[in-house]
Amino acid sequence: MMRLSVTTPRGAIVETDIDEITAPGAVGEFGVLPGHVPMMAALKPGVLTYRAADHTTTLAVGEGFLQVAPVAGGEKTTDRVLVLVDQAIGATSIDLTAAKKEFGETEALLGAWTGELDGTHQELVVRRDWSLAKLGAALRISAS
């Protein structure tokens, strides 16, 4: 077992015991199982899933970090997985139609972009990446 905490600037989203987690790393998706070596990884917007006992939960997450560290607790040591992201939402709370529309709109705006790669452009990239994360999470649960 591992203890998972998913937190955004607005507060804790998840605080639960899990058996495994898969996260959208900045250089590729990766998984963590109990007994994993301590690590810190940058996260990109994407789909985060975790399995606990008899169910799997899917979240869309924004940019952030994931840390795996052992925590001593009495006679045994457990792993703590701390996920700090700028935003997160449960896949069951995502409106698939709205996510598709938002992704299409931001892709169109970026495709037509002819200006400088400035703050406005970066805001569009962040919006597109977040809408793609929501779309991916929503599609993952609709397929199951």
Q: What is the pLDDT of residues 3-25, one digit of tens each?
A: 999 999 999 999 999 999 999 99
Crossing angle for the helix pair 96-111 and 119-143, nearest 10 degrees?
Answer: 150
As a whole number, mean pLDDT of residues 106-114 equals: 89
Q: How confident is the model at residue 118 (pLDDT cuts 50, 70, 90)?
A: confident
pLDDT at 36 over 70: yes
pLDDT for res 70: 85
> Which amino acid type is present at position 26?
A
pLDDT at 142 over 90: no
User: E strands along the chain, which residues?
Assistant: 2-8, 11-18, 20-25, 28-32, 39-43, 46-52, 55-61, 64-73, 76-85, 88-90
**Rounded to whole angstroms, how far apart are CA atoms 10 and 125?**
22
**Rounded to whole angstroms, how far apart are CA atoms 126 and 74?**
43
Ordered domains of the chain (ranges, CATH): 2-92 (2.60.15.10), 95-143 (no CATH)
pLDDT for res 144: 63
**Rounded to whole angstroms, how far apart are CA atoms 140 and 144?**
7
